[in-house]
Structure 1
Amino acid sequence: MADDNLTASQRIDARIAEFDDWRGETLAQIRAVIKRADPDVVEEWKWRGVPVWSHAGMICTGETYKTAVKMTFAKGASLPDPSNLFNSSLEGNTRRAIDFHEGDAIEEEALAALIASAVELNLSSKSRSGKRG
């Protein structure tokens, strides 16, 4: 199958398989938490190879680097983070990120709550602006 014919979900599957180390495992675990937190999430593939999860707007991205897997929340600065998961990109007015490094445990319940909050924010923003979808 030609790469151009792959769906976003298939591309994310391929990205996870591409890493036969902790990064692939971490990205797969993050993806599973996102799907559990929001069964209606839409998977997208943007910016030449970045997995994106959306629901009524972008929720977050899942970027892989040599020493980290980064989840960047598009509207993270507006989200409650009682578990202090955000540990990166803290200086901006909009985005916030979580960097996962080798050996880091993923706090799945706290992460799922953060994802649910991002979806709620997207949905409330859509309803306030009168947009549908």
Structure 2
Amino acid sequence: MKKSDLKDEERGHSPSQLIDARIKELSDWRGKMLSHVRALIKQADPEVVEEWKWRGVPVWSHNGIICTGETYKSVVKLTFAKGASLDDPSGLFNSSLEGNTRRAIDLREADEIDENAFKALVGAAITLNKSKAR
């Protein structure tokens, strides 16, 4: 399924099914990376809600957006909606560092992500979302 085809087939499919289709469609390192970080997000938060927004962007939420998972030719970009407000002691954020709100992690083909640090970052994003939801 091509990215352009997903727009026509979004109706009737759950966001999780659309994310599955995107991962399958990529069929290269980007699909594997997206699948891997998706699994880490689910490990960090079994109650995470998967969404499909902006005509083809996987989104993970819990009391608000945690992060998005965009795929480009040379990177898988995980943008944390409130990343500028999160502590990042492991230095995972390496993109979109100049903004006042978001922060991102750009993952390239040979990159390995610090799984524990990433799950802690997801947990911190959820904690922040919950504190803002009150």
Q: Which residue of 1 aligns with 2:3?
A: none
Q: Distance in 2 between matches of 1:71 and 1:100?
A: 8
Instruction: Give the % identical residues.
Output: 66
Q: 1:59 aligns with which of 63, 66, 70?
A: 66
Q: 1:114 aligns with which of 106, 121, 132?
A: 121
Q: 1:18 aligns with which of 21, 25, 28?
A: 25
With the length of structure 2 as denominator, give the TM-score of the two structures: 0.92
SS at match of 2:84: helix
Q: Report the RMSD for the aligned CA atoms in angstroms.
A: 0.8
Q: Which residue of 2 aligns with 1:89?
A: 96
Residues 13-42 of structure 1: CA distance to partner in whole angstroms, max 9, x if unpaired? 000001111000000000000000011100
SS at match of 1:26: helix
With the length of structure 1 as denominator, give the TM-score of the two structures: 0.93
Q: Which amino acid aligns with 2:12?
A: N
Q: Which residue of 2 aligns with 1:9?
A: 16
Residues 65-87 of structure 1: CA distance to partner in whole angstroms, max 9, x if unpaired? 00000000000000010000000
Q: Distance in 2 between matches of 1:63 and 1:101?
A: 12
Following superposition, which runs of at least 4 residues in structure 1 exceed 3 angstroms of deviation? Answer: none
Q: Distance in 2 between matches of 1:96 and 1:34?
A: 16
SS at match of 1:5: coil
SS at match of 2:58: strand
Q: Which residue of 2 aligns with 1:41?
A: 48
Q: Which amino acid aligns with 2:25?
A: E
Q: Which amino acid aligns with 1:6?
A: H
Q: Distance in 2 between matches of 1:118 and 1:101?
A: 23
Residues paired across the two proteins, number = 126
Gaps of 5+ in 1: 128-133
Q: Does 1:28 align with 2:35?
A: yes
